[in-house]
Chain A
Amino acid sequence: QSVLTQPPSASGTPGQRVTISCSGSSSNIGSNYVYWYQQLPGTAPKLLIYRNNQRPSGVPDRFSGSKSGTSASLAISGLRSEDEADYYCAAWDDSLSGLWVFGGGTKLTVL
């Protein structure tokens, strides 16, 4: 069971806006930055969002991140078929459960 909680699945139609949640605790999301990764089928994860809401160069502005308290969200607007992937959140954890913790992943389906 993952330390960070994500919904196992999400879906939307092309052009829609979808959000994926990530719930943690005061020792991880509550006191540290949140990161988001996109994993296309059969490939390595790719950094999508860092420091809660920053996009690396090359990541479209359709992707945005936010954080409030011990929860975070990834929003994807103008959904496209190529966005169909697994999405993971991650954060540094200050407790004894380990330094880095990931969410269980959310499989996004574009209908």
Chain B
Amino acid sequence: QVTLRESGPALVKPTQTLTLTCTFSGFSLSTSGMCVSWIRQPPGKALEWLALIDWDDDKYYSTSLKTRLTISKDTSKNQVVLTMTNMDPVDTATYYCARSDWLSKLAFDIWGQGTMVTVSS
């Protein structure tokens, strides 16, 4: 059974750096085709893709947020970490991690439950 779970602070102050961890089980990020993405959703608004890391450690970022994002993986711990710098109240959102299996062309087939992050002083 594939599961993902996001963890991180519920509240961050403006200008601070946010660090989120996605801990997963049921698959390995060293397996060809496997990817993990971060996707966020502000309250009442649409989904927004943020970043992706694949089995080959290739990293891809949303063009609009590229300068603020860093994604990394620890294959031995089955974790993917996202950092976002210079947080602003508009970054208040639920942050999800989701798996993709690119060999099967399955995009975001399994999602974590999400973690709500509020940016406020």
Residue numbers of A with Cβ under 8 A of B are 2, 33, 35, 37, 44-47, 50-51, 56, 88, 90, 92, 96-105
- Please determine whether B37 and A97 come into contact, CB atoms closer than 8 angstroms: no
Pair B48/A45 contact, Cβ less than 8 Å: no
* Contact (Cβ within 8 A) B113 A44: yes
Residue pair B107, A50 in contact (C-beta under 8 Å):
yes
Q: Whole-angstrom distance between the alpha carbons of A46 and B47 in the complex?
A: 12
Taken residue by residue from 95 to 116, chain B's Cβ proximity to chain A (1 for < 8 Å, 0 otherwise) reads as 0101000000111111111100
Q: In the bound complex, do residue A102 and residue B48 qualify as a contact, i.e. CB atoms below 8 Å apart?
A: yes
Cβ proximity bits B15-53 to A, threshold 8 Å, 1 near / 0 not: 000000000000000000000010000000011110010
Range of interface residues on chain B?
20 to 34
Contacting residues, chain A, for B98 (C-beta < 8 A): 45
Nearest first, the 5 A-B pairs at minimum CB distance are A100-B49, A44-B111, A102-B47, A98-B62, A104-B46
B114 and A44 within 8 A (CB): yes
| A residues in contact with B96, CB < 8 Å | 44-45
Q: How far, in whole Å, are A42 and B48 apart by their CA atoms in the complex?
A: 17
User: Which residues on the A side are within 8 Å of B63 (C-beta)?
Assistant: 96-98
Least CB distance from A86 to B in Å reads 9
* Interchain CB contact under 8 A, A99 and B52: yes
Write 7 A-B pairs (CB below 8 A) sorted by A numbering. Answer: A45-B47, A45-B111, A50-B106, A56-B106, A56-B109, A97-B63, A99-B52
Q: Is B1 an interface residue (CB 8 A)?
A: no
Chain B window 73-110, contacts with chain A (Cβ cutoff 8 Å), 1 for yes, 0 for no: 00000000000000000000000101000000111111
A residues in contact with B113, CB < 8 Å: 44
Q: Return chain B residues, CB-CB under 8 Å to A103.
A: 46
Give every chain B residue within 8 A of A90 (Cβ-Cβ): 47, 49, 107-108
Residues on the A chain within 8 Å of B107, using CB: 33, 35, 47, 50, 90, 92, 100
Q: Specify the chain B residue showing the minimal Cβ separation from A37.
A: B108
